[in-house]
Amino acid sequence: MTATQKHFEDNGQGHVFTFFDELSDTEKETLLQQASEIDLNELKGLVETLVNEPGEGNESIADALEPAAFTPLPESEGGNPSLWIEARDKGEAALRAGRVAAFTVAGGQGTRLGYDGPKGTFGVTPVLKKSLFQVFAEKILASSQIFGRPVPWFILTSIINHEETVAFLKENEYFGLHEEKVHFFSQGLMPAVDSGGKILMADKGQIALSPDGHGGALRALVRSGAVRQMEADGIDTISYFQVDNPLVRCLDPAFIGFHLMNESELSSKMVPKAYAEEKVGVFCEKEGTSLVVEYSDLPDRLAQEKDENGALRFRAGSIAIHIFDRNFVNRLGSGDDESAKLPFHLAHKKVPFIDSSGALTEPTEPNAYKFEMFVFDALPFAKNPVIIETNREDDFSPVKNATGIDSAQTSAEDQLRQFCRWAKAAGIEVATDETGLPSFSFEVSPLFGDTPGRFTQSWNALEHKPELTEGLVLV
């Protein structure tokens, strides 16, 4: 018996090796490798605290909860236009100085979309169906060209999609970015357990493992050596976004500027919630500490509460766009600081597993518990957290579902609306419906323009101005 087997036996998880003797040498090696990466102590603690004990009720979360303060947009009530100009200038200076990296979390499984492949390879633009990765690469390239410094791009994958992700970017020659500026690294995995806390087996030689959540990005940044590399390259500012949001401004100078001006360890963008029941986390404060409260944890009476102007009181919706200070990532991700650790959350899911006879069961009801960390749980540990308002239509339209809300269709429409707003700002006449949507599809490359100002500049420089019609692509 190997030391790993013994360790599992001693911790009540010996069944993981039930079929060990039937496995080939390579399969044995794989299983031992998977097993050795599981922290059984951590798992035991999680089972005890999350699976065996009922969680904290909504009402205790709600105790002493206040809405978080945020910096309003210049055009919003209380907005300060000169402050935004100062922030933009600071951010541009940081981009010129090469202090900023782009960071995409792409380790998720994208089950709701139901697409066979890494989500970043999914086609999203209205005409060319450019992949999410291409859209981000072009935005990063545009910023690199404008500010004269190539911006490094870090991409978090998981073991499930790592190879395909790397191959896709390579085949497409990194969409114009320098190969050595694109870095891939895999996040950690956690085993799924049954209601008794026993690790589930996907196969006789495979533990049922899944990525440890986007919060796992922080320890992956440290473990992979990405943080060390950033330090060596003079990067102290990490612009974080999710792989499913083609509208995101990957490197937003004003956002970067607010982060730096406030010496923040973690900055976030908010949008006012569209309606009380909208399924987004909300930025709150509790006893002087900022935090994101998930929509499912925000008691309805708070979600519905209005302020004196009739607006939702708890309206600062989180759209998963952040800027991290590199040293903060190191502090949290290294696990050295015992007082600053991201908690795990529990998800009850359907996970296929083999039983003690080796037969595969495909559950029809949730049978398993998975453990995930959330990146926004870093907020309470951050010094000088900054939250700024952004326009939803310029930053957030994720592709989560195959159809309906937050689908490829809604996201393509939101891209079209944005292109039309830019066209109108440049003085081009374009007919749209009351929601700003044109009756035809066209597309603007981020390299043509990724802001109204740069769109106008490129448009004015065109010798022959094309008619905005079906299928037009401005590159």
Residues in 419-458 at the binding interface with ligand UTP, rule: CB under 6 A? none
User: Are residues 202 and 353 in contact, defined by beta-carbon separation less than 8 angstroms?
Assistant: yes
How far is CA 45 from its chain centroid? 27
Question: Is the CB of 81 or the CB of 366 nearer to ligand UTP?
Answer: 366
Angle 316-320-322 from CA coordinates, rounded to 5° = 95
Span from 99-107, 123-131, 194-202, 427-435 in contact with ligand UTP (CB under 6 A): 99-107
Q: Nearest distance from residue 157's CB to ligand UTP, in Å?
A: 8
Residue of 214, 331, 370, 392 that binds ligand UTP (CB under 6 A): 214
Number of residues that bind ligand UTP (CB under 6 A): 20
User: In the complex with ligand UTP, which residue's Cβ is closer, 165 or 267?
Assistant: 165
Task: Give the binding range for ligand UTP (CB under 6 A) out of 44-52, 91-99, 226-234, 242-250.
Answer: 242-250
C-beta of 31 vs 221, nearer to ligand UTP: 221
Task: Give me 223's structure tokens.
Answer: 């473990």
Q: Which of 108, 152, 257, 385 binds ligand UTP (CB under 6 A)?
A: 108
Give the contact letters, 215-234, x = binds to ligand UTP (CB under 6 A), - = no: -x------------------
How many helices (H) and strands (E) would you count in the chain? 14, 20
Whether 136 and 104 have beta carbons less than 8 Å apart is answered as yes
Return the range that interacts with ligand UTP (CB under 6 A); candidates 10-18, 111-119, 121-129, 284-292: 111-119
Measuring CA to CA, how many Å separate 131 from each of 123, 386, 399?
Answer: 4, 31, 12
Tokens 């109204």 correspond to what residue? 452
Indicate the helix (H) or strand (E) that contains 388: strand 386-389
| Widest distance between CA atoms in the chain | 76
Supply the angle between the helices 3-10 and 25-36 in degrees, to the nearest 10.
50
DSSP β-ladder status, 153-157 and 182-186: parallel
Q: Do the Cβ atoms of 326 and 238 come closer than 8 Å?
A: yes
Among 15, 44, 96, 112, binds ligand UTP (CB under 6 A): 112
Q: Is 109 in the site for ligand UTP (CB under 6 A)?
A: yes
Token pair for 38: 């599981």
To the nearest whole angstrom, how small is the minimum distance from the Cβ of residue 161 to ligand UTP? Answer: 9
The residue length of the chain stands at 475
Report the candidate in 404, 401, 415 with the shortest Cα–Cα distance to residue 443: 415
Compose the 148-167 pattern: x for residues touching ligand UTP by CB under 6 A, - for all others: --------x-----------
> Which one of residues 107, 385, 438, 449 is an interface residue with ligand UTP (CB under 6 A)?
107
Q: Which of 193, 243, 319, 379 binds ligand UTP (CB under 6 A)?
A: 243
Mark out the alpha helices in 405-451 (DSSP H runs).
Answer: 408-425
Q: Tell me the per-residue interface mask from 377 to 416 with ligand UTP, x by CB under 6 A, - otherwise.
A: -----------------------x----------------
Token couple for 363: 């559950």
Contacts of 208 (CB under 8 A, 6+ apart): 191, 192, 199, 200, 201, 202, 351, 352, 353, 368
Of 16, 87, 110, 382, the residue at the interface with ligand UTP (CB under 6 A) is 110
> Which of 138, 236, 244, 414 is close enough to bind ligand UTP by CB under 6 A?
244
Asked if 269 interacts with ligand UTP (CB under 6 A), we say no
Give the nearest residue (CB) to ligand UTP. Answer: 108
Interacting residues toward ligand UTP by CB under 6 A:
105-112, 119, 156, 187, 211-214, 216, 242-244, 400
